[in-house]
Amino acid sequence: MTQFQPAALAGAHTALITPFSQDGSTVDLSALEAQVLFQASGGVAGVVPCGTTGETPTLSDSERRSVIQTTVATAGPLGVKVIAGAGSNATAHAIELQSEAEGLGADASLQVVPYYNKPSQEGLFRHFTAIADGAKIPIVLYDVPGRSGVGLSVDTVVRLAAHPRIVAIKVANGSMGFVGDVAGRCDLEILSGDDPLTLPMQALGAVGVISVLGNIAPGLVAQQIAAGNRGDLAAARVVHERVLPLATGLLSLDGNPVPVKAAMSLLGRDSGVVRPPLVAACVSVRDQLTELLESVGVRGPANAHDSAGCSGTTGTR
């Protein structure tokens, strides 16, 4: 039964956007390949297709398979791990998606806390255990109560950590107490799911990140994680302070992934197109992103496209 060795998920992992054609009707697989190559050149340890940042709820079944397959085919030969999003709020469906990710060659899966139906802690334990019991690749738990409506308790995480296929947890709940308690009570690898909080999470025992910012600046994200993991939190803090305004803006100027797609468009790395019900970033958001990119030292052709209206909503991972 396949398992990662200890610390196998340490490092920077980028939560990939899904690039679309200009009309949003199809996935641009050539652009996806280019993005994975860009991530590899930045020194990331892994990439995460079909997560929140990948607009997975808007992908058809065939598109989801193509995204994972293309990511694996591009990343694998470069030694970049693929942690495929395979979660669902129906346990049977999550088991199917887990099997699919395995068949497509993913190195691990990302299993989100079931959303909308708000299960109890016992329900969460049974959900993840059922998935892990039949899994052939390792599982990363994903705690993001801002999107799922319910979160994992530390006690439930500790129970789940006893399963040999559950190897890590992506923490996007904003709680440093949660991170410290998990680190102190079990041996799951902790991955930050919130770029602005990665440094304090590292100080408490996190060994990596699943990063939105990595879509734009994979080298800087990898540099910060590497510094923290070798015990040099002072060096990690230097990078953290440099990227913090941009990292915060990507998750606050609009709902994720609207800002990061707009920023990538400004840099000539994506069309910036999102699928409904999301809408493209408005001019004022793009102007703010231009300033933030320049402040971090990331530059590109800043030829913003006009768009009507501006939602102004804040994003969650």
Q: Which residues are catalytic?
A: 142, 170
Nearest-angstrom CA–CA distance, 99 and 76:
19
Strands in 159-301 per DSSP E: 166-171, 189-192, 208-211
Backbone angles phi, psi at 314, to 5 degrees: -90, 150
Half-sphere exposure of 236 (CA within 13 A, CB side): 25
Determine how β-strand 139-143 pairs with β-strand 11-15.
unpaired
A 10 A CB-CB count for 265 gives 23
Burial class (CB in 10 A: 0-12, 13-18, 19+), 89: middle
Contacts of 60 (CB under 8 A, 6+ apart): none
DSSP assignment of 173-208, as one string?
Answer: S--HHHHHHHHHH--PEEEES-GGGHHHHHHTT--E
Greatest Cα pair distance, the chain, in angstroms, is 52
Nearest-angstrom CA–CA distance, 90 and 112:
11
Q: Is 265 helix (H, G, I), strand (E, B) or coil?
A: helix
Residue 83: left (phi > 0), alpha (psi -120 to 50), or beta? beta
Nearest-angstrom CA–CA distance, 53 and 165:
25
Query: Of 171, 68, 192, whose CA–CA distance to 112 is shortest?
Result: 171
- Terminal-residue alpha carbon distance, the chain: 32
